[in-house]
Chain A
Amino acid sequence: MLTKSFKYTPGEHEAEKASNSYLMSLIAVIAGLPLPIINLIATLIFYLGNRKATYFVRWHCTQALLSQFSLFLMNSFGFWWTISIVFSSETLSTNYLSYILTLIIFNAIEFIATIYTAIKTRKGIHIQWWFYGSLTNLICKA
């Protein structure tokens, strides 16, 4: 995670909106929704709502969406694996438990990183994540 200077200094209103894009994914977690797609939908709705916003807001909405998308893939696999254990002939195994622990680790890292970025972005500081930041630079043009 890197603090980089942005092309311009974002205003108070922009910083608030950009910070909210990260908070959207957290709201779904706080609400206790177990479906992994909820976080993605929450972030996607916010992203679509801000398509015409300023560059700083769009940039951070995109970074939040991309990070949620990869988590969505990991969590979906874990979710359906769990469903197959509860409702079908699949049984608990070391492989499954290891996968769930890996999910917990990756989700916790993402959760902490999201909170940190939301706080920093709220102050107008531009935070660029490793991989997601450079990917966002490719997708989101000024």
Chain B
Amino acid sequence: MKKSFIQGLIIVFLFFATWIGLSELDWMTIFQVKKVQQSTEQKLGDLFWNIYEKSQNELKSRKILAPIDSLLDKICISNKIDRAKIKLHILQSDEVNAFALPDNHLVIYSGLILASENEAELSGVMCHELAHLELNHVMKKLVKEIGLSTLISMTTGNGSGEIIKKATKILSSSAFDRKLEKDADIKAVDYLVAAGIDPEQFANFLFRLSEVEAKMPDGFSWISTHPESKERSEYIISHSSRKSHKYKAILAESTWLKLKEQL
């Protein structure tokens, strides 16, 4: 009996020793997993962005892009995010919406900029979407909703139009899991604080828009697809209150007003 027990323990030990031993090698690099993932993400990003580019009007004026760029630069530099990899797009639309696409495409609707009362509110939403990108939520969501095999077939040009349309809709007009949304909110607060932007403005924005959205539900995609806005603004305030920081405007008041005039 004792002999069998010891032998059993040795087998269990051998199993875990093999597992831990093999874990010492970087199999992700050996099997080139990251390279394959990056290439798939890049192809999907191009595929989805092409759809938006064809169907909607992208605003490319320097006067509109420059202020948003300044905000994004400041957020990226303060948080050690590679700015060069983020592809910023501003689309002409009354909808209050912003979303992230695979391969670091950050899409902002002009309606969102107009609905923001100041740069801090807009920066809050940008940080939230940046957090989704940095935490790899976009690809996780696609894999969960569409399935890995379908996504791979899309990158090889075999995806049906219907599925591509469905995936595009999922990315722009549906929220992530509750946990992923909370993670992105908390990360967004960290980004804002590091960039010297007041996170309470982001919470105010959520609170204000949730009230407006309740009265007129159409056109407030970013809020209506992100449930429990009041609860979100509460935990954003509670998380940001733990951080002491001095906040400073990035854009001059006149630049912000001119940007809104352009839209």
Chain A proximity mask over B1-39: 1 for CB below 8 Å, otherwise 0: 101100110110001001110110111100101000100
Residue of B nearest to A96 (CB): B27
If over half of A's interface residues share one DSSP class (helix, strand or loop), that class is named, otherwise mixed; here it is: helix
Decide: B27 and A94 in contact? CB cutoff 8 A.
yes
Decide: A94 and B15 in contact? CB cutoff 8 A.
no
- A74 interfacial by beta-carbon distance below 8 Å: yes
| Chain A nearest Cβ from B17, distance in angstroms | 9
Q: Known interface pairs A92-B28, A98-B23, A102-B18. Does A86 touch B11 (Cβ–Cβ under 8 Å)? A: no
The answer for the CA separation of A62 and B19 in the assembled complex, in Å, is 28
- A5 interfacial by beta-carbon distance below 8 Å: no
| Chain A nearest Cβ from B256, distance in angstroms | 37
Number of A-B contacts (CB under 8 A): 57
Q: How many residues of B contact A (CB 8 A)?
A: 28
Decide: B140 and A91 in contact? CB cutoff 8 A.
yes
Which of B7, B10, B28 has a CB less than 8 Å from the CB of A94?
Answer: B28
Which of B1, B15, B25 has a CB less than 8 Å from the CB of A74?
Answer: B15
The answer for the CA separation of A89 and B137 in the assembled complex, in Å, is 8
Decide: A87 and B25 in contact? CB cutoff 8 A.
no
The answer for the CA separation of A125 and B60 in the assembled complex, in Å, is 81
Decide: A98 and B22 in contact? CB cutoff 8 A.
yes
A95: chain B residues within 8 A (beta carbon): 23
- A90-119 contacts to B, CB under 8 A, are 91-95, 97-99, 101-102, 105-106
Decide: B26 and A94 in contact? CB cutoff 8 A.
yes
The answer for the CA separation of A106 and B4 in the assembled complex, in Å, is 19
Decide: B4 and A102 in contact? CB cutoff 8 A.
no
Decide: B22 and A138 in contact? CB cutoff 8 A.
no
The answer for the CA separation of A138 and B180 in the assembled complex, in Å, is 51
B140: chain A residues within 8 A (beta carbon): 89, 91
The answer for the CA separation of A117 and B25 in the assembled complex, in Å, is 34
Decide: B7 and A93 in contact? CB cutoff 8 A.
no
Which of A88, A89, A92 has a CB less than 8 Å from the CB of B33?
Answer: A92
| Chain B nearest Cβ from A7, distance in angstroms | 19
Residue of A nearest to B30 (CB): A97
Q: Known interface pairs A89-B177, A91-B136, A102-B18. Does A134 touch B3 (Cβ–Cβ under 8 Å)? A: yes
5 A-B Cβ contacts within 8 A? A70-B11, A87-B144, A98-B23, A98-B25, A134-B3
Residues of A at under 8 Å CB distance from B? 70, 74, 86-89, 91-95, 97-99, 101-102, 105-106, 130-131, 134-135, 138
